């Protein structure tokens, strides 16, 4: 079953209250997950857990005239800023400062993200947020990694995310969701299990995209934003626990989200700006197809659109795929994508021996064969 079809199926199950099993991976997939849990536990013993929390980034940012822009941040440890040294280094703070600079207004940031949160916890976070901010202008949600590592049923996780987006849109709040990052870039997770982590997280990201667009929000693919392009900068993009982004990593995540936040607030776009540029790989198509294409390139935005005045086509809702994010000057895209390999003696940590490569291939084939 292709990823686009899986994404449509998960989103449909989320919308109609169905389930597709423990994240839809089948018995052999669950066996693989059991090994993944062991590998993750071993990895955490090596890197340790040096963080006790995240800096408190709630407050007012920037300056200017008029009422402040009300910015909400919901989600997990990446939204909370675990791994940042100061409040100014979190994704929320960087976006708040950027919005203030472009709008000429102060930005009031309310961050209700919870370290370790799964999508099921978004309901509580939203209730807490709306007690503080009755009419938020824009919300940024970063969620999904813990749904993968805890093997939450994808349809359940996506349903809670979609319900949160719907509730926010009911308050006339713009919503931007940073979809599940590619867990295949996490260095302490050994091969061949890194391949499974990549597959599971990308499947969830695609399903999140379909559901969020249907709910009235827009998504930005985080994918392997901190991964292969920065193969030589691993210790700069990730904090010293090896799992959470460093301040430089958070800056890169925020740089991918900020253009979409500003566009949602109407700060710089015009109808002409939203015309897809084919030279950049931008296009209009069915949302499930756009979702799959987005997970392949981090920083890609997907939002709803219409074709000849019709929001829905033969293959579902129309979506526009835009590549707003520009590669930074430090990007090392010429480096070989090594996140799908592991190491023989004397080789970099991401190169596989032929035998290990065969094991990884067989594991992925079994997992694919048992996906509903």
**Distance, CA of 141 to CA of 354 (rounded, Å):** 40
Q: What is the DSSP letter of 279?
A: G
Give the C-alpha separation, 221 to 296, whole Å: 8
- Bin 216: left if φ > 0, else alpha if -120 < ψ < 50, else beta: left
Query: What pairs with residue 177 in β-bridges?
Result: 141, 219
Query: What sign has the CA pseudo-torsion 75, 78, 82, 84?
Result: negative
Q: How many Cα atoms sit within 13 Å of 143 on the Cβ side?
A: 34
Residue from 67, 77, 130 nearest 103 by CA = 67
Catalytic residue positions? Answer: 77, 241, 244
Q: Which helix (H) or strand (E) holds 264?
A: helix 247-264
3-class SS string, 295-364: HHCCCCEEEECCECCECEECCEEEEEEECCCCCCCCCCCCCCCCCCCCCCCCCCCCCCCHHHHHHHHHHH
Q: Which pair of tokens denotes residue 207?
A: 């399903």
């Amino acid at each position: 079953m292709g990823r686009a079809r899986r994404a449509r199926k998960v989103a449909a199950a989320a919308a109609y209250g169905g389930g597709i099993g423990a994240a839809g991976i089948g018995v052999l997939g669950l066996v693989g997950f059991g090994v993944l849990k062991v590998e993750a536990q071993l990895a955490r013993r090596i890197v340790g857990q040096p963080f006790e929390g995240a800096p408190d980034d709630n407050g007012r940012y920037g300056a200017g005239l008029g009422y402040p822009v009300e910015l909400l941040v919901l989600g997990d440890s990446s939204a909370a800023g675990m791994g940042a040294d100061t409040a100014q280094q979190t994704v929320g703070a960087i976006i708040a400062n950027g919005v203030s600079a472009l709008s000429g207004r102060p930005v009031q940031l309310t961050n209700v993200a919870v370290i370790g949160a799964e999508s099921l916890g978004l309901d509580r976070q939203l209730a807490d947020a709306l007690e503080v901010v009755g009419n938020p202008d824009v919300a940024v949600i970063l969620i999904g990694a813990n749904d993968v590592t805890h093997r939450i049923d994808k349809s359940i996780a996506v349903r809670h995310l979609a319900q949160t987006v719907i509730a926010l849109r009911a308050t006339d709040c713009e919503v931007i969701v940073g979809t599940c990052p590619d867990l295949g870039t996490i260095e302490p997770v050994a091969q061949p299990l890194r391949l499974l982590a990549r597959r599971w997280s990308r499947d969830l990201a695609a399903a999140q995209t379909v559901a969020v667009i249907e709910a009235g929000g827009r998504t930005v693919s985080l994918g392997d934003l901190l991964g292969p392009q920065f193969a030589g900068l691993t210790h700069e993009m990730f904090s010293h626990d090896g799992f959470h982004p460093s301040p430089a990593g958070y800056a890169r995540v925020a740089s991918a989200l900020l253009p979409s936040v500003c566009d949602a607030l109407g700060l710089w776009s015009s109808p002409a700006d939203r015309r897809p540029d084919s030279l950049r790989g931008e296009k209009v198509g069915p949302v499930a197809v756009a979702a799959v294409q987005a997970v392949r390139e981090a920083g890609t935005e997907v939002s709803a659109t219409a074709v000849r005045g019709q929001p829905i086509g033969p293959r579902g809702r129309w979506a526009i795929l835009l590549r707003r994010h520009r590669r930074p000057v430090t990007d090392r895209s010429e480096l070989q994508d090594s996140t799908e390999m592991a190491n023989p003696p004397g080789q970099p940590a991401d190169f596989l021996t032929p035998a290990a490569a065969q094991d990884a291939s067989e594991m992925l084939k079994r997992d694919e064969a048992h996906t509903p």
